[in-house]
Structure 1
């Protein structure tokens, strides 16, 4: 979701304030790397997927730009990022996506290399056989037409069976819970619901190598952003064993919107997140990493 200049100013002020609280949860903050580029396409990143070795990544901008990059590391710390391929996303008619229809938010990469992207302006999910290919839009149930225009599908994840899961950022079920939609290769259904807790809204999701569902959530307050990471175990009847892994204090991180969960060379679970700077000079593109418990 694109945020206004006023929020960007508030966030910048919050980053300069002294810490008054500590993170809650079980995750360990490893590092935060600020990524700078001068190209006009750089910024607004809403999704990230890391390779299994953590040395390359695919990131998605909310202005229909997708790029691959190489990552240099010194043990736990990212030291440099070098872009490789930069590509504008295309419509099913092979036209460059622009405006509201190009509000690309969520990312999932299949084992065959196909890229799936969720969109917020016009709620839908599309498949790309390659980064420069035209979109193949998955069927859209009527429920998608009822979602908030600027609060639809920021999160997208793929499980080990190749099924896609997405959820609206703002729109809720009648009981206030978060509906999670699942694509099985033929049609969408409502797989389960997640409890809405506090003012946090879901902005990214991923299935970790442990098979659990991870959801990154964001709360936008009067003096900046807070982030929270929760996870669940999926069963045949829904989700169970909910855990809150971390909840950041206001202003610790920028506007985190993308999430990738993987195992590092020591075999430990790691969450890598990227922030959406909204193309505002007062914000920053930040890649944040946490070590997670098994």
Structure 2
């Protein structure tokens, strides 16, 4: 999601030290790493996938750029990130996408080694067999046409059955809930909704190795960003046992938009998140990690 001119004021306030304590109810903050790179394409990261060993990463920017990187760690904490590959996210005809058409926001790894990307400018989800290949766009139901142009499919996740889930940042049901859309390989459906709580909006999703659905949410105000992570057990198309794993105060982190849940070498459950700097010098591309309870 592009946040507009007010983002510069928010960033200035963040740098001025407007930071509140993290209210870590059940998760603990492991560390944060400011990732810097001089390339023109660098920035705007809205999604990521972390490998099982925590050493490799795919990061997706909201300007249709995919980046592969190696993560260096000491004592489990990130010490460096080295880019090993960078590709444009192509259209179904093989063209480089510009503007709102290329507003890529979510990524989910497919069982066959390919991956899916969600877009919110033109509301759609596309499959890619490998980085740099042409898109295979999934069918788009008419209901997608009515979604908010700058507030639809930021989050994308895939379950252990290979089914895709995406949810809208802004659009809500008549009852005020968050609709969740699922692609089962044949058709889209809306198997369930999630409760909207407070001023937070969903910006990323992932199914963890524990099989639970994780949703990263963001709240934006003139004093900065807040972040929240919730999770559910999903059984028989019903989300159960909702938990708020953490909820930050304003300025604790930058503009967190991407999420990947994985297990480290000690078998511990981790959440790695990435911040979208909106291509502004006053913001930072930040990777943030939390230890989660099983």
d(CA) in 2 for partners of 1:130, 1:237: 31
Match of 1:184 in 2: 184
Once the 2 structures are TM-superposed, how far is the Cα of residue 13 of structure 1 from its aligned partner?
1.1
Once the 2 structures are TM-superposed, how far is the Cα of residue 6 of structure 1 from its aligned partner?
2.4
SS of the residue 2:150 aligns to? coil
Evaluate the alpha carbon distance shift between residue 174 and residue 115 of structure 1 in structure 2; reply closer, same or farther with a 3 A threshold: same
Gaps in structure 1 of 5+ consecutive residues:
none
d(CA) in 2 for partners of 1:82, 1:5: 31
Paired residues of 2:119 and 2:154 also in contact (CA < 8 A): yes
Once the 2 structures are TM-superposed, how far is the Cα of residue 20 of structure 1 from its aligned partner?
4.4
Length, aligned pairs only: 294
d(CA) in 2 for partners of 1:98, 1:194: 32
Evaluate the alpha carbon distance shift between residue 15 and residue 233 of structure 1 in structure 2; reply closer, same or farther with a 3 A threshold: farther
d(CA) in 1 for partners of 2:24, 2:84: 37
**RMSD over aligned Cα atoms:** 1.0
Match of 2:123 in 1: 123
Whether 1:16 aligns to 2:16 is: yes
Match of 1:90 in 2: 90
After superposition, where does 1:55-94 map in structure 2 within 5 Å?
55-94=55-94
Paired residues of 2:20 and 2:252 also in contact (CA < 8 A): no
| Greater shift in the superposed pair: 272-281 or 12-21 | 12-21
Q: Give the TM-score, by structure 1 length.
A: 0.98
Match of 1:51 in 2: 51
Evaluate the alpha carbon distance shift between residue 92 and residue 22 of structure 1 in structure 2; reply closer, same or farther with a 3 A threshold: closer
Match of 2:283 in 1: 283
Once the 2 structures are TM-superposed, how far is the Cα of residue 7 of structure 1 from its aligned partner?
1.9
Paired residues of 2:181 and 2:188 also in contact (CA < 8 A): yes
Paired residues of 1:31 and 1:76 also in contact (CA < 8 A): no
d(CA) in 2 for partners of 1:149, 1:243: 30
SS of the residue 1:25 aligns to? coil
Q: Give the TM-score, by structure 2 length.
A: 0.98
d(CA) in 2 for partners of 1:248, 1:22: 4
Match of 1:274 in 2: 274
d(CA) in 2 for partners of 1:121, 1:226: 24
Gaps in structure 2 of 5+ consecutive residues:
none
Paired residues of 1:11 and 1:251 also in contact (CA < 8 A): no
Evaluate the alpha carbon distance shift between residue 39 and residue 194 of structure 1 in structure 2; reply closer, same or farther with a 3 A threshold: same
Match of 1:137 in 2: 137
Match of 2:238 in 1: 238
